[in-house]
Structure formats: C-alpha cells, structure tokens
Chains A and B, each alone.
Chain A
C-alpha cells in the first residue's frame, strides 16, 4: 500500500463581481481549487490577507478542504509569508487572472522564483503519477499541449479550464477556517503600485494589410499567419528576433 500522500496547496485571492463589486471568490482561483479537488490528495486552501473577509468563507463552500489565512494588512508583500507556509507541499495551484485589488496575477511567478520551483502556466487539466504532474496546457485556437513536470511544482490554471466548481451552503457553514499566526511585517510593497480606474485594455496588434480571405484563413488556422518560425539559436538570439519584430511593427519604441 502506497502511503505517499499528495499534498496540494491552493492559493486564493478575493475577487470582485464585475457588476455589483461585491467581494467573492476569484473565479480563476476557484478553478484551481476545483482542479485540486479533482486531482485528489490532501488539499489546503491558503490565503494571505484579512482573515475576517466574509467572502473568504465562500471558498469553503466549493470544497471540503480547510482554509488557512495568513493575516496580512494591505500593501504587504505576501510572497515571503506564503513561501514559508508552502514548504512540504507537492503542488501549489493558483489561478492566473486577478479580479482586482492588489492581486496582480504575478504571484505564481514570484513564488516560483522565491521557492526555486518550476512553474507551468495556462493549465487546463492535471494528472499526478509517480512523482510527476502531467499538465494539459492551453494554446490558442483550440490547440493543447501536454507537459510533464517533476514535483514539487507551481501550476497556474487557465481561466478557460473546463471545470465546474460547485457551491455548497452546507460545506460553507461546516467548513473549517483558521488564521495562522501573523508574520512579521515587511516594508510595504504598495509604494511600487499606482492605482487608477480600470481602462479597456488596448490590444497590441501589428498593423497589417491583408485581404478578407487571408484574415479569415488566419483566424481559423494556425499556420497561415505568415511571419517567421525561429526554432534554432540561443535564447538570446531568439529574443533578438522578437525584439526586431516588435520594433519593425512599431509596437515598442526603443
């Protein structure tokens, strides 16, 4: 009998309903939680922030896992405290899209850097076997890629992961939630932030003149976009090729 127990931490943030602004579980983090539930093993939900935020309890409604909160006031860098708590987990799951506030969507990368762990982003599905995780990754235009990563690893879930989280009032009222001891405060990280109202994102798009047929073809196939496929050379050379492309299309100005 295999006594090895898969331990998964799911990092969750507070989201906002885009219409009412009501605090709610971040939809993308919910997908991460659901993926963890599906993968089996022992799941812990982890949040860094205000342990008294009522919307946190909604995470309990979506799985039977316990919720731990690292009490941290706003403006703090949460990475060190999270990294400390994340020792001993085999998988760290997060969403990859923020719904507002201080959540940046950068957390999985910052943590990966701090913990020295591999990160797989855009995950749609996950299977764990023999100390490895096999991940189905999202690629545009219906393409998928399967990648394998050794444990422990950080996995950021794509917003389009085909999962259906289920809200249970019973789990919400019977779930367990604990506040961990507050870590020592660090220098505020918010100085680096500039807050402003959300704008419609401007799509960076290379100007191109193509016939309607060509555009249609480009939209439905993955090859006919034109351009060059850079497969050889060192990473630096490849980066140069990208830079040259961006400059030539006036997408960056330096």
Chain B
C-alpha cells in the first residue's frame, strides 16, 4: 500500500472523529437551552432550505454566492470522494482525478475569498476569519496535489515522498480548520451549526410562508422571556452559532447607521459568548457604536444584561427586521431581542425613556398617550361616518389606531374616508370601542399588557358583524393579522392602500392624473413591507395617478426603517444621528420633492426632520387629492 494513501485514510477518519467529538461538545452547549418543539423531519428539509431559502438570500450578493458555491461545493464533493476513496480504502486512481477536479474548484473559490478579504468591507469580521482564505487554499491545494499525484500512480521516489509530505502538511492545516471548527467555536463552526440550524429552525413556518409575528409568551406557565443564555430555546442557541459574521445585518441596521449602540452582528456574537462562557475580547468585527470591546462577559447561567449586552443595545432596536431580511444564515434577531426585552420589562420593568409611562398609560387607559376613548372618533365628527354597533352588519370596519389622537394622522384618515365614500364603500368606525392593539406594549416586551389589550379587542371585534377590517396603520395591521390569531382573533385585515388599489381595479374609484408634477418617492413602512410583504399596492396607486416613483436605493422589502418602530421613539436611545434624518437623506438623493408614506409612524418620524426636506404625504392623501382632479 502506498504510504500516503494510508496516511490520508488515517487523517480522514481522525478528522471525522474530531468532528464528532467537537459536535458533541458544542451540542452540550446548545442543550443548556430550553426544550423546543422538535421536528426531526426538518432534517430532511435541509437540502431544500439550503438551496432555495438560504440561497435566495445569499444570491443578493452574486460575488460571494458564486465564491461560496465554489468553495463549499468543491469541498463537499472533494470530501465525499476522499471519504469513498480513502475512507473506504478503495484507492482508485479514477476517483483521485475526481478529487483533484473538485479541489481545483474549491481552490479557485478560495482565491476569490482571498480577493474579497484583501480589502474587506467594514461589515466583515477579521480575526480568525482573516485566515480563512489561507486555510481553505491550503486544504484545497493539498487535495489537488493528492488527487494528481495519486491519480498518476507514480512509482515511489524521493520526489513523490517529498510531495507526499507536503500534501500531508497542507491537508493537516486544512483539516484542522474544518474539523476543529465546531468543537472550538472557530469560523468553520458555521458549516455544521448552519446546516443543523436549517433543520431545527426556531421559526420553521418561514420556509413555507412569510412568518413575522412574535411568538405568544405563556405567562401562566411562568415564562417571562430570556434572562440568561440558558433561557433561550436550544435551537435559538444553535441558530446563533450559525452566524458567519458577514455583517449583512450590521450594514442593514438603521440603529447602527445612526450610531446608536446596537450592532446586530455583535449582539448575536455576544449571545454566542454567553452560551459558551467567556468574554467578547476575541470579537474582531465592528463594535456596537460607542461601546468598548473586551469588557463584556457572559456565562450560560449568568444574566445577559447588563454585563454581556448593554441595555441601550437592546432598546435601540426598531424591530424593523432589516437584519433578518439580510441574514444569509436565516437568524431571527428580532425574536432574540424581544425575548430579552420581555424579561427586562416583565421582571424588572426597566425600560428607558418614556417606556414605563407609556405602559402605565396602556394599562390604565388603553391608549399609548393616556387619552380618553370618547375622543377616538373626534376626527370624524363632521364627516357623517357610522360608528360600528353590535348587530349592525357592515362590509368594512375601519380600525384607526392610536394615531386618531394626532392631528396629522387625522388628515390622513379624513382623506381615506373621502375616498371610501367616493367609492360607496359600506363601512363604519371601530371608534370609541377601540383599544390600543398592544403593538407597542408587545415590542417593548410587555407581553402581559399586550395580551390584556388583545383579548379586550378580540372580545369587541367578535361582537361586531363585519366582513373585513381596514386600517391605515401597518402596526395595527400586523397585530391584527399576524399576532391576534394566536389568541383566537382571526380576521381578514387590509391595509388602506390594498383596499384603495382594489377599489380602483374594480372601477369603484377612478384616480385622476396629478397636475402637481413634483417628483415622488415612496417610503415602505417596515410593518407593511418586510412584515407583510405588501409593496405593490401603494406603487400601483401611485402609478394609477400617473406618478413614476423615484425609488430610493433601499426600498421595497429592503427598505430602510424610519426609526419609528419597536417603541424606539419612546426609549429614545441617543446616537450620532437620528434614523429619520438618514431616511430623508435617502429620499433627497432621488431628487424627490414628495415622500409618499403609508403609515402614521413613518409620517411622524419623517415630518420630525428639521430643515428643508421633501413634503410627507400619505398615499391616502394623494389618492383623495387625485379624486378632485
């Protein structure tokens, strides 16, 4: 037997052993987490989830998509062949050539990794990740040489022996990277953890249909959210281990861009540190703005706040889901953030800024701002609109949301009513019967108040006779559509732009062309776009008015947040800039003089930008104005 072949066989099985031991050690960390509903069938779905769902995200960056395909595809093919040829002691020269070809593909991929890493974008982590092109290339080169030398079946000679030594050295270096990764928490951990994560994803629904609603917390069972890493479900811990530190989330995060102390990538890495125990000193990516590195410590059973994750980090998040949208490893940052917020709020009540006051208002008055319910329909007092009553059948129930107390949003609502009347829609207001949906409370972690409010609203809605709900507030839409069903409230909920688009399609509403020719851009609300996938209706309406929308660079499902979600305006964590300022800059770049919006929060945030800026108009206002034309 050729001695090189024997050595490769030994190395192969040794690596397999090391990998298994490493996986077992890492799995012990994951198992510190809480039990989760397990579906072993998820493992069968890994290939589909990998090639379809994951690749769908990765493909947005074609460079790295191709690079990864070459490296990972080449490596897997080569390793498979090595396993067959050397693991099973076949030593067939034909298979050796196969190994050489696969490894060559991997080698070329490694070259592109190296190229990207020569001048890496700021979002990429360095540290251990910087050695990846070299260890990958070493491994690939070792395999190429192995394949070629063995494939040629050369007689034993000094030269061949020298090559054999070189090959073994290269393979050893590469194998160390691949096999030790999972056990030691090195970069290659992502391969194993990432695949398992696809199998045991904590939100498996997302592979069949969009799934964004927060999970119901079982308060009666004493579940108050996450205090320490071990309070996460084990498959959430596994998901954190899948992170490849690509920083796509960081680049998308509005809070990070505004210089607030939140970097979603760092947050996920901190949670990894917490699960494994230790400090964040080895982290080599961009920091959470303003916070030092190396001063955060964690352990599986130690509280995450404030030692491992700073409270300001937690409260900077607008829950915009841009990070989730961009994450190639399909990690659910927002769920983790809300889990942590829940414990802070439910156990300690520690919320910065106006958070505590707001939650007290919601508990005592059922409104965010502490307003009387009697005033809920004041905006429509002269419009001759019906108030919904039990026993009176209507087509459409208008659920307005907290904005009814805000004069600016009232203009939007009045415009909407005008269009509904023009289209002869049979509708009534939920009006004085309405309570806050609990959206803000829930996102601030106050699950108790959310559930109380939601149950009250469900009781009210169940007593009314309507076919569909329409709202001009995407946060109301999201609560009612995605989060009430878990509490038993199932309704057909429409955004006003969807209803208006439907009415124009059916001919009930005829849009006029705008005589105002100022250029318009459209800002997608996170809770309409990313949360509910609705990006077409507003654009269809604008097109119907003869408007050619000047799209911002970040738009549609990848739109940038206005800064208004998740209670962020209440907690008001300081940064270098304000998120809405950044968003208005985005709009200015398009040269637009009007930013069309579709959410009262976006309206308020963008109108709060001081200095000269484009005018902010809700689609409902634009539609109503076009009816006159």
Binding site for B on A (CB under 8 A): 17, 19-20, 22, 24, 61-62, 164-171, 173
Contacts and interface: CB of A to CB of B under 8 A. Distances in A.
Contacts of B219: 169, 173
B372 A19 contact: yes
A17 B373 CA distance: 13
Interface stretch (B289-297, B342-350, B532-540): B342-350
Given A17-B365, A19-B365, A22-B365, A167 B370 contact: no
Contact of A19 (B350, B356, B370): B370
Nearest to B351: A166
Interface in B359-405: 359-360, 363-366, 370-373
A183 B483 CA distance: 49
Given A19-B372, A61-B349, A167 B359 contact: yes
Contacts of B347: 168-171
B446 A169 contact: yes
Nearest to A58: B363
A167 B224 CA distance: 14
Given A19-B371, A19-B372, A20-B372, A166 B349 contact: yes
Interface string B418-452: 00000000000000000000000000001110000
A158 to B, nearest CB: 19
B366 A20 contact: yes
B372 A168 contact: no
Given A17-B365, A20-B366, A22-B364, A169 B348 contact: no
Name the interface size band of chain B: 20 to 34
25 contacts: A17-B364, A19-B364, A19-B370, A20-B365, A20-B366, A20-B372, A22-B365, A24-B360, A24-B364, A61-B349, A62-B349, A164-B356, A165-B356, A166-B349, A166-B356, A167-B360, A167-B363, A168-B346, A168-B347, A169-B219, A169-B346, A169-B347, A169-B448, A170-B224, A171-B347
Contacts of A165: 356
A161 B347 CA distance: 24
A165 B360 CA distance: 11
Most B CB contacts (10 A, CB to CB) among A20, A61, A171 go to: A20
Contacts of A166: 348-350, 356
Contacts of A20: 364-366, 372-373
A165 B351 CA distance: 11
A62 B373 CA distance: 27
Given A17-B365, A168-B347, 12 more contacts: A19-B365, A19-B370, A20-B364, A20-B366, A22-B365, A166-B349, A168-B346, A169-B345, A169-B346, A169-B349, A170-B347, A173-B219
Nearest to B359: A167
Contacts of B224: 169-170
Contacts of B350: 166
Closest 10 CB pairs of A and B: A166-B349, A17-B364, A169-B448, A167-B349, A168-B349, A20-B365, A170-B347, A169-B346, A22-B364, A19-B372
Contacts of B366: 20
Contacts of A168: 346-349
